[in-house]
């Protein structure tokens, strides 16, 4: 091959590569060699062509626009995905950061119930246990005692926080002053005023309440606590339930350390009511549960004698106390007779609006000589003869 031909070929290749510059780099990397080889042939056959040059320039600019648009779309898509990911992760983190604390009532699944009697001027100190799964700092803003159905709620004198569980109760007044024997069981962790204080929760904690029963010969009961607290500035509410073991305080003038019989009966009645309410009956089963609850509590009134059946006046008393006329699900009337020593009571229970009521009948409500309960059953009410 002559030197002149080599020079012409090199010049043709240089011109072809010059035209290639109109295309974007990504296009050149993918199609460049094929483009140059094809253009070298055309330039050798037809060195000058305005149409060819215009066509190369137009297609090169179009390729640049196409590749740049695709790049922009890809970048925008990647940016959007990144923003969504960051927002999702951030939302989850923030939710975890401010979410309510998971509480469990009682200590290791257990419940503490207590029955105390005191003079109206005395204060009974009662502990309410709860558990958390993780250590976290909260600020308690309010504590409200929740009454048990049929009982007034005692006055709350003060609230202390203990970073440990407690099953103790005493009558030493407020501020809380535990005896030495109790302090040994409680440990050396000091109690702190709960309201308005930031406390760090441990796996087991307790709130101590000072409770006063102000009216003489009255029983007061606490079914649980409603506690409002702040976590990182966000307010939440938790419930500490006493389950089937409510705390009962009786106001008595008795000088003996032995709990009076009437207070014992109130404590037993409170346990029956709490147990009957524990399963949260549905609206369909609630009338039946109401009748059974009243019947069982009335039976408790004859428990101290060892046997017998409660008089109808006792059943009516508890019906009015537990479901008064101005409350939801009021018991409108109770009638009944005793057939062969077995009482049969007929309840008319108000439901919804209007004046009509659901009729529920119970039977077999009695206590045997040995103290055993002939269980309260529910039956369809007879239309005649037994009212």
- Partnered with residue 91 across adjacent β-strands are none
With respect to residue 274, please indicate whether it lies within any of the assigned structural domains. Answer: no
Measured CA to CA, the distance from residue 106 to residue 91 in angstroms comes to: 32
Measured CA to CA, the distance from residue 137 to residue 132 in angstroms comes to: 11
Q: Is the pLDDT of residue 93 over 80?
A: no
Measured CA to CA, the distance from residue 278 to residue 266 in angstroms comes to: 18
Give the three-state DSSP class for 270. helix
- 77 vs 283: which has the higher pLDDT: 77
With respect to residue 258, please indicate whether it lies within any of the assigned structural domains. Answer: no
Do 165 and 223 sit in the same domain of this protein? yes
Average pLDDT of 166-183? 76
Question: What is the pLDDT at residue 66?
Answer: 73
Across the chain, which distance is largest between two alpha carbons, in Å?
138
How open is the CA angle 292-296-301, to the nearest 5 degrees?
150
Average pLDDT of 168-192? 74
Question: What is the pLDDT at residue 374?
Answer: 47
Q: What is the mean pLDDT of the chain?
A: 77
Task: Answer with the one of 66, 98, 130 that is the final residue of a domain.
Answer: 98
Do 68 and 140 sit in the same domain of this protein? no
- Partnered with residue 304 across adjacent β-strands are none
Do 34 and 117 sit in the same domain of this protein? no
Q: Give the domain range for residue 344.
A: 279-379
Task: Pull the structure tokens for residue 299.
Answer: 């039976």
Q: What percent of the chain has pLDDT over 70?
A: 72
Do 225 and 85 sit in the same domain of this protein? no
With respect to residue 262, please indicate whether it lies within any of the assigned structural domains. Answer: no
CA distances from 386 to 338, 345, 362 (A): 9, 9, 12
Please tell me which of 33-47, 86-100, 219-233, 270-284 the model is most confident about, judged by mean pLDDT: 219-233
Confidence of residue 155 (pLDDT cuts 50, 70, 90): very high
Question: What is the pLDDT at residue 193?
Answer: 92
Q: Is the pLDDT of residue 379 over 60?
A: no
With respect to residue 268, please indicate whether it lies within any of the assigned structural domains. Answer: no
With respect to residue 270, please indicate whether it lies within any of the assigned structural domains. Answer: no
Please tell me which of 74-78, 137-141, 294-298 the model is most confident about, judged by mean pLDDT: 137-141
Task: Pull the structure tokens for residue 288.
Answer: 């039946």
With respect to residue 140, please indicate whether it lies within any of the assigned structural domains. Answer: yes
């Amino acid at each position: 091959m002559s030197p002149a031909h080599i020079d012409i070929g090199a010049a043709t290749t240089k011109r072809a590569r010059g035209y290639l510059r109109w295309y974007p780099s990504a296009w050149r990397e993918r199609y460049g060699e094929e483009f140059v080889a094809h253009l070298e042939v055309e330039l050798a056959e037809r060195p000058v062509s305005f149409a060819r040059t215009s066509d190369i320039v137009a297609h090169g600019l179009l390729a640049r626009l196409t590749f740049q648009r695709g790049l922009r779309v890809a970048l925008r898509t990647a940016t959007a995905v990144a923003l969504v990911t960051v927002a999702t992760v951030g939302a989850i983190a923030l939710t975890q950061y401010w979410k309510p604390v998971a509480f469990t009532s009682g200590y290791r699944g257990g419940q503490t119930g207590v029955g105390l009697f005191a003079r109206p001027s005395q204060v009974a100190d009662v502990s309410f246990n709860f558990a958390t799964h993780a250590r976290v700092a909260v600020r308690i803003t309010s504590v409200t005692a929740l009454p048990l159905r049929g009982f007034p709620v005692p006055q709350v004198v003060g609230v202390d926080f203990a970073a440990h569980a407690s099953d103790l109760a005493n009558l030493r007044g407020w501020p809380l002053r535990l005896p030495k024997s109790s302090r040994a069981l409680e440990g050396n962790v000091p109690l702190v005023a709960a309201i308005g204080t930031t406390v760090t929760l441990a796996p087991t904690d307790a709130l101590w309440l000072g409770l006063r029963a102000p009216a003489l010969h009255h029983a007061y009961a606490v079914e649980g606590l409603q506690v409002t607290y702040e976590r990182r500035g966000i307010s939440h509410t938790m419930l500490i339930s006493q389950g089937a073991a409510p705390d009962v305080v009786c106001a008595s003038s008795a000088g003996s350390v032995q709990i009076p019989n009437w207070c014992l009966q109130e404590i037993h009645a409170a346990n029956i009511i709490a147990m009957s309410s524990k399963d949260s009956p549905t609206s369909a089963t609630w009338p039946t549960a109401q009748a059974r609850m009243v019947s069982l509590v009335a039976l408790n009134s004859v428990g101290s004698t060892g046997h017998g059946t409660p008089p109808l006046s006792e059943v009516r008393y508890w019906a009015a106390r537990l479901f008064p006329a101005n409350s939801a699900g009021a018991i409108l009337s109770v009638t009944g007779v005793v057939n062969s020593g077995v009482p049969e009571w007929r309840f008319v229970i108000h439901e919804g609006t209007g004046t009509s009521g659901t009729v529920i009948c119970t039977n077999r409500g009695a206590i045997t000589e040995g103290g055993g309960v002939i269980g309260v059953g529910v039956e369809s009410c007879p239309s005649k003869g037994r009212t």
